[in-house]
Amino acid sequence: MNKVFIAPRRYVQGPDTLKEAGSLISAIGKKALVLWDANVKGIVGETLIASLKDAGIEVVDVDFNGDSTKGEADRVAKIMSDEGVDVSLAVGGGKTLDTVKAAAAIAGSKVVTVPTIASNDSPTSSFTVWYDDDGNCTGFESWGVNPDLVLVDTQVIANGPLPAFVAGMGDALGTWVECDACSQVTAPNLAGGTSTLVAMAIAKLCYDVLMENGVGAMKAVEANTVNDAVEKVVEANVLMSGLGFESGGVATAHMVANCLPSFPECHGLMHGHEVGFGVITQLCLDKTFDDEKRIKIVDFEVAIGLPVTFADIGLEGVDRERLKVIGDICGGEGSLCANHPFEVTSEDIVNAMIAADELGRERKNAAGLA
């Protein structure tokens, strides 16, 4: 299998970059569909529309219906075709971005992602995560191309909700530990090949940046300010995490995270919160992982407020019988848990989740938080 690395064509990040949207996007297209919800439009609409119009770009303004369903993607794709747009902007969170990526693939439009929260790594990737009309996740699909431009305004992100920013760190925290696991068995990545040295270096940098700047960035975002730590962590959450997972691969942390939504108690969690608990599960599953580093990672999660125990993810008192549902999927055919240099059974996953909860409680105790 070949080594494959994929990435967006251009990534632009900084405070107030939205004001430059027009000049950047005029190099990509002349008629732009903009998909967003009313809340996001209220926050960034005026600045963005003014910038696009100043650059002579015609705007087709479309309200997002709230979920990345196939029906919604078809609806938006039809508007793209009917209006003859040549570029489409997705402004908001992961579901808005994923819908535009899918619709643009159908209609043949260029794609610009404008994340207004840094809660996951959708902005740079070629993927859409699909939901059904009841809000259940039904799988994911790659369009084979990454966005033409990723435009990240760090002031907008710092003004956004802190839990979303912390969730982004949870998603990014999985990057290195999962890429590292995949590289040990030359597992396939999500780009149709195996990992490159570049993807591995980005994944390790992602981890180092979070460890050094995560707490400082969290405090700055709490106060709605952009400092050096915020700039670095936004780059980790959006760019490094996105490039790392797609070109490096994923393993148990994401597999467990993707199973958690099958419990109704977990429905309020963001993807990055689920990955945060999944990371600890993977570190408890991997007996070869350095003890000191495992504790350091859990302490980091505790410090920034990621969920580290069953109680934190709404599963206080959960028994082995219920956990076995996740164990069976993780230990079954086609599972990402195969991306480790050791065999993983259903029982191993149940034991690792219980060990993760115990370690999480112990470290919260040590931090005086239990």
Residues that bind Zn ion (CB under 5 A): 171
**Closer residue to Zn ion (CB): 76 or 270:** 270
Residue nearest to Zn ion (CB): 171
Q: Nearest to residue 64, comparing CAs of 73, 55, 52?
A: 73
Q: Indicate the residue among 98 and 171 with the shorter CB distance to Zn ion.
A: 171
Alpha carbons 23 and 29: distance in angstroms, whole number? 11
Tell me how far apart the alpha carbons of residues 89 and 367 are, in angstroms, rounded to a whole number.
43
Phi, psi for residue 87 in degrees, rounded to 5: -145, 145
Give the tokens for residue 370: 């239990």
Spatial distance between the Cα atoms of 276 and 261, rounded to a whole number of angstroms: 14
Closest to Zn ion by CB, 270 or 315? 270
CA 181, 182, 183, 187 torsion-angle sign: positive
The nearer residue to Zn ion, 246 or 348, going by C-beta atoms, is 246
Tally Cβ neighbours within 10 Å of residue 134.
8
Residue 120 CB, nearest approach to Zn ion (Å):
6
Residue number with CB closer to Zn ion (171 or 235): 171
**Are the beta carbons of 250 and 190 closer than 8 angstroms?**
yes
Structure tokens at 225: 């300010």
Residue reference for tokens 């950047």? 24
Residue with Cβ nearer Zn ion (178 or 357): 178
Residue 121 CB, shortest distance to Zn ion, in Å, is 6
The least distance separating Zn ion from the CB of residue 238, rounded to whole angstroms, comes to: 12
Q: Which is nearer to Zn ion, 22 or 272 (CB)?
A: 272
Task: Tell me which residue of 364, 352, 261, 348 sits closest to 313, measured CA to CA.
Answer: 261
* In the complex, least distance from residue 86 CB atom to Zn ion, rounded to whole angstroms: 30
* Comparison of 171 and 286: residue with beta carbon closer to Zn ion: 171
Residues 6 or more apart whose CB falls under 8 angstroms from that of 203 comprise 175, 176, 178, 179, 180, 240, 244, 248
Residue 160 or 248 with smaller CB distance to Zn ion: 248
For Zn ion, give the closer residue by CB, 167 or 323: 167
**Side-chain half-sphere exposure of 17, counting CA atoms within 13 A:** 22
CB of 245 to Zn ion, least distance (A): 6
Please tell me the number of Cα atoms within 13 Å of 51 on its side-chain side: 17
**If residue 77 lies in a helix (H) or strand (E), which one and from where to where?**
helix 70-83
- Minimum CB separation from Zn ion for residue 87, in Å? 26
DSSP 123-143: TTSSEEEEE-TTS-EEEEEE-
Tell me the residue ranges of DSSP E strands in the chain: 11-14, 31-36, 58-63, 87-92, 110-115, 127-131, 137-142, 149-153
Q: Are 329 and 258 in contact (CB under 8 A)?
A: no
Give the residues across from 182 on adjacent strands.
none
